[in-house]
Structure 1
Amino acid sequence: MSKEYTVTYRSENVYEEWVDDAYWQFLILPLENSTQELVEKDFSNSIHAINQYSINGFGFNSIKVHPKKRFKEISFEATFKVLKLESEEIKEFSKTEIKKSIEEINTLEFKINFERFLKSTRLTLLPKLETPLFQFNTNTSLLENLKLLNNWIHGFLKYNAGVTDITTTLDKVLSQKSGVCQDFAHLFCSVCRKNGIPARYVSGYLNHENGYLGDSQMHAWTEAYLPNYGWLGFDPTNNILANANHIKVSHGKDYNDCSPLKGVVYSHGNHKTGHSVVVKSNQQQIQQ
């Protein structure tokens, strides 16, 4: 079974003075992998500047825009049609597999292979604490520990828009016990890495039709690597595993690797910027 979605992304920018030059890079294209297919894509801007499609430094599709004429207003609109497959049921692990998985993540080879997603960054660095925030249970599977971590973060942090921004570090998030989806994801990654489990920050879109919490623009969740399974998605904001309602765009060490929009604008005076994302399910289910 699969679901088809239409994702509409809009960005509007108004400048007080003329913009003489500008560069933008959008990281908003849904990824194509074993669980999702990009059926259609369309991206346009109001001043008809050329859109350049390319691969960014992390291997994800991006769109670069460099207008050749001055402007005071510019808007961008993207429409994507995405086919999402239902996630496969996760198998139960035997006691032997549990033991082997724990042994594997402690090997030097494993640590070298996953070094990028085992190291802390400025946004995923835990402050020094007298006692661990979350204690892993070595008598149960890594999967069960991660489910418990997902649940713990969901209960520990309160979803509260406006109390953090894209530069907020975990010390502030932990002190106020609140934040938005990117803060939930950063905390999940941090605790995983602290316990030797590779974890990566994921940026994408979320279907809110089932009442899920998340930003009205891009949503953030995580993926952790489990020996004998691979990368598995966790959404601590909603205390669920990533499923057919999650449309992945990119992943990285933290938000900075996955920022949906980066740019440089040469202008003076004030400006106003607005973004919106709408995800609509075209059909409840499509029979394969």
Structure 2
Amino acid sequence: MSKEYTVTYSSDNVYENWVYDAYWQFLIMPFENESQEILDIDFKNSLHTINEFSVNGYGFKTIRVQSKKKFKNVTFEGRFKVLKSEIKEPPIPSRAEILKSYEEINSLTFKVNFQRFLKTTGLTTLPIGNKPLFKFDNITSIIENLHSLNNWVYQHLHYLTGVTDISSTLEKVLSQQSGVCQDFAHVFCALARYNGIPARYVSGYLNHESGYVGDSQMHAWAEAFVPDFGWLGFDPTNNIIENSNHIKVSHGKDYNDCSPLKGVVHSQGNHKTNHSVVVKNHQQQIQQ
């Protein structure tokens, strides 16, 4: 079964003084993979400047806009139609398969191949001097340990807006035991990597119809690599695995690789920016 969505991303920017030169890069387009099919893409700006499409270092499409004519107000709107299918979860392995998986993740070849998503970053560094917060049980399969880790993060952090920002460290998040979806994803990635499992930060959209918690704009979750299966998404904010309510945009080592908007604006004075995201489920259940 699949769900068809229309995601509408809007940004309205008002500047106190004239802007004479500006450049923006948007990382907001849904990614196309085995569980997501992009049916339609439309992106426009009020300056009627040509949109340039490119691919970043992780292989995700970005939209670039550059304007050299002066303005005080600019709006952007992206409308994306997506067909999202359910994601299969790997079966619980046998004892022999469990042993083989741990041998694999401890091998030098594995660590070299997945080095990018095993290294810590400024946003995924665990506090120094603390006892291991979550340690895998090698008697149990990797997939079961990842489910337990997902639950651990969900139980130990409280979803609370306004207490962290995009630069908050894990020391702050863990000491106050609260944050938003970005912080939940960073903690999951840090602890998965600590236990030898490659993990990557994921940015995307969430359908809130089922009562899921998450930012009304861009949601964040994580993906962990499961031997003999591949990458599987975990949403510790809601204690679930990625499903047909999650629409992936990009992944990276942490938030900095997945920031939805980067730009340079040449102007003086104050400015106000309002972002909004609307995820509409067409409730068309399409038989695969």
The residue aligned with 1:21 is 21
The residue aligned with 1:160 is 160
Contact 1:173–1:179 under 8 Å retained in 2: yes
Residue identity matched to 2:275: H
Contact 2:89–2:232 under 8 Å retained in 1: no
The residue aligned with 2:142 is 142
* Residues 221-269 of structure 1: per-residue CA shift (max 9 Å, x gap): 0000011110000000000000111000000000000000000000000
Measure the CA separation in 2 of the matches of 1:260 and 1:31.
13
The residue aligned with 2:34 is 34
* Residues 95-147 of structure 1: per-residue CA shift (max 9 Å, x gap): 11111001110000000000000000000000113421112111100000000
The residue aligned with 2:209 is 209
1:173 aligns with 2:161: no
The residue aligned with 1:286 is 286
The residue aligned with 2:194 is 194
Once the two structures are TM-superposed, the CA of residue 57 in structure 1 deviates from its matched residue by: 2.0
Once the two structures are TM-superposed, the CA of residue 89 in structure 1 deviates from its matched residue by: 4.1
The residue aligned with 1:80 is 80
Q: 1:31-110 alignment to 2 at 5 Å? A: 31-110=31-110
Measure the CA separation in 2 of the matches of 1:209 and 1:129.
41
Measure the CA separation in 2 of the matches of 1:249 and 1:87.
16
**How many equivalent residue pairs?**
288
Once the two structures are TM-superposed, the CA of residue 182 in structure 1 deviates from its matched residue by: 0.5
Residue segments in structure 2 that go unaligned for 5+ positions in a row: none
Contact 2:202–2:251 under 8 Å retained in 1: yes
Measure the CA separation in 1 of the matches of 2:284 and 2:88.
18
Once the two structures are TM-superposed, the CA of residue 84 in structure 1 deviates from its matched residue by: 0.5
Question: TM-score with structure 1 length normalisation?
Answer: 0.99
Measure the CA separation in 2 of the matches of 1:217 and 1:108.
40
* Residues 187-209 of structure 1: per-residue CA shift (max 9 Å, x gap): 00000111110000000000001
Residue identity matched to 1:206: L
Once the two structures are TM-superposed, the CA of residue 59 in structure 1 deviates from its matched residue by: 1.2
Once the two structures are TM-superposed, the CA of residue 284 in structure 1 deviates from its matched residue by: 4.6
2:67 match: secondary structure: coil
Measure the CA separation in 2 of the matches of 1:5 and 1:214.
17
Contact 1:49–1:68 under 8 Å retained in 2: no
1:77 match: secondary structure: strand
Residue segments in structure 1 that go unaligned for 5+ positions in a row: none
Residue identity matched to 2:162: G
Measure the CA separation in 2 of the matches of 1:132 and 1:112.
24
The residue aligned with 1:184 is 184
Contact 1:38–1:80 under 8 Å retained in 2: yes
Residue identity matched to 2:10: R
1:209 match: secondary structure: helix
The residue aligned with 1:120 is 120
2:140 match: secondary structure: coil
Residue identity matched to 2:238: N
* Residues 149-193 of structure 1: per-residue CA shift (max 9 Å, x gap): 000100100000111110111000011000000000000000011
Structure 1, 257-266 or 90-99: larger mean CA deviation? 90-99
Measure the CA separation in 2 of the matches of 1:84 and 1:275.
24
Measure the CA separation in 2 of the matches of 1:68 and 1:172.
41
Measure the CA separation in 2 of the matches of 1:215 and 1:250.
16
Measure the CA separation in 2 of the matches of 1:285 and 1:161.
34
Once the two structures are TM-superposed, the CA of residue 214 in structure 1 deviates from its matched residue by: 0.4
Once the two structures are TM-superposed, the CA of residue 22 in structure 1 deviates from its matched residue by: 0.5
